[in-house]
Amino acid sequence: MENFIVSARKYRPDSFRMVVAQDAITSTLKNAIKNRQLAHSYLFCGPRGVGKTTCARIFAKTINCSHLSPENEACNNCESCAAFNSNRSFNIHELDAASNNSVDDIRTLIDQVRIPPQVGNYSVYIIDEVHMLSSNAFNAFLKTLEEPPRHAIFILATTEKHKIIPTILSRCQIFDFNRIKVEDIVRHLEYVAKEEQVHADPNALNVIARKADGAMRDALSIFDQIVSFSGREITYHDVISNLNVLDYDYYFRIVDCFLKNQVTEALILFNEILEKGFEGQHFINGLSSHFRDLLVSRDPVTVQLLEVSGDIRERYKVQAAVSSPEFLLEALQLSNECDFQYKISQNKRLSVELTLARIAQLTLKKK
């Protein structure tokens, strides 16, 4: 049986051009390589799963390549690139600071830094989750980070830049990685699905992208999970059932009830949602997001803030057209208050039901 490789590893970028949605950073790094203006220490910071360690590895590979392309990308053919691609390169050293955070670990690293590379020009030291280093380890690292040997380059990666001491920050070039937009994640998932010969509903991929919350690695992991569940045909309903996501349709239906002052129907619909196993706060949080999306759908300028796919986007526009801005703002305020007070409420179901009844009354008093 052939060993399965998870998509997050199989489709991990091996060149700057393949990195998703970090163009400013990849362009800066490529220009630094082109102009031979390499710093001795970099700090890559940003949310999880957005490409920090990946970019560090690509950078290490590219600066040691013997035959750079005209686009300043690694050739993938020279001895250094071949060693890197087969995970046997001695030019790249990775340290997980989460489990190697003591002074002794850093002193071992400092001793290793003195050894020049056998192949290529640079030894690159990638320290992941660098904020986990102890205070003493940080202090032991300062001198080497400021004045390393000419062949040594340090790339520090972290999700929590605020935990790194200022003396370390001042010695590094700092690159802030962005959360990846939903549309960029969807586009990459479409590419992966095509490569894997999986037919995927665009609405399903959009739900996966939103669930990933800006992290490409999370999106690919969820994609693998859904493929295991539904096989080569990924549908919208497969995704929402597997990820325990509440269907958009419920929110459209309950807002229709509000617009028609149908309190009873809204409460019955909420009961149906509870019977499906969803928490009240999960529902009310989603309802707040739905009102927000209806608000931004009313104006052609703000409709670009809507992170949903084609046919659902049209449903938002249709419902927004029959909902007054005053109703949406008051409904959003009521649902947001309910979400805020949900945890401290003694009768949580009643709290949500009261909010639904109050929202349904908003259009009644306008008449």
- Could you tell me if 56 and 169 lie in one domain? yes
Tokens of 236: 């919208």
Is 62 among the domain residues?
A: yes
- Could you tell me if 17 and 54 lie in one domain? yes
Please answer whether residues 4 and 227 qualify as being in contact, where contact means their C-beta atoms are separated by less than 8 angstroms: no
* The predicted structure's pLDDT at residue 365: 56
**Distance, CA of 260 to CA of 112 (rounded, Å):** 72
Last residue of a domain, one of 207, 242, 277: 242
- Could you tell me if 63 and 166 lie in one domain? yes
Q: Which residues contact 12 (CB under 8 A, 6 or more apart)?
A: 54
Last residue of a domain, one of 216, 242, 268: 242
Q: Which residues contact 128 (CB under 8 A, 6 or more apart)?
A: 53, 94, 95, 96, 97, 98, 157
Angle, vertex CA 203, rays to CA 198 and CA 209, nearest 5: 85
Question: What b/e string do you get for 45-56 counting C-beta neighbours within 10 Å, with b at 16 or more?
Answer: bbeebbbbbbbb
Measured CA distances, 99 to 16, 110, 146, 198, 249 (Å): 29, 17, 24, 38, 46
Question: What b/e string do you get for 264-295 counting C-beta neighbours within 10 Å, with b at 16 or more?
Answer: ebbbebbeebeeeebebbebbbbbbebbbbbb
**Distance, CA of 346 to CA of 349 (rounded, Å):** 9
- Could you tell me if 237 and 280 lie in one domain? no
Per-residue pLDDT of the chain (367 residues; tens, 9 = 90+): 356 678 888 888 888 888 888 888 888 888 888 888 888 889 999 888 888 888 998 888 888 888 888 888 888 888 788 888 877 777 888 888 878 777 888 888 888 888 777 766 888 888 888 888 888 888 888 888 888 888 888 898 888 888 888 888 888 888 999 888 888 898 899 988 888 888 888 888 888 888 888 888 889 999 888 888 878 888 888 888 888 778 888 899 999 999 888 889 989 999 988 888 888 888 998 899 899 988 888 887 777 777 777 678 888 888 888 888 899 899 999 999 888 888 888 888 899 999 999 998 887 655 4
82 three-state secondary structure: helix
Q: Which domain holds residue 208?
A: 182-242
Please answer whether residues 312 and 248 qualify as being in contact, where contact means their C-beta atoms are separated by less than 8 angstroms: yes
Is 1 among the domain residues?
A: no
Question: What b/e string do you get for 238-258 counting C-beta neighbours within 10 Å, with b at 16 or more?
Answer: bbbebbebbbbebbbebbbbb
With a threshold of 0.95, does the pTM exceed it?
Answer: no
- Could you tell me if 231 and 304 lie in one domain? no
* The predicted structure's pLDDT at residue 207: 86
- Could you tell me if 169 and 55 lie in one domain? yes
- How many CB atoms sit inside 10 A of residue 302's CB? 11
- Could you tell me if 343 and 312 lie in one domain? yes
Is 57 among the domain residues?
A: yes
* The predicted structure's pLDDT at residue 255: 92
**Distance, CA of 157 to CA of 52 (rounded, Å):** 6
* The predicted structure's pLDDT at residue 1: 36
- Could you tell me if 161 and 207 lie in one domain? no
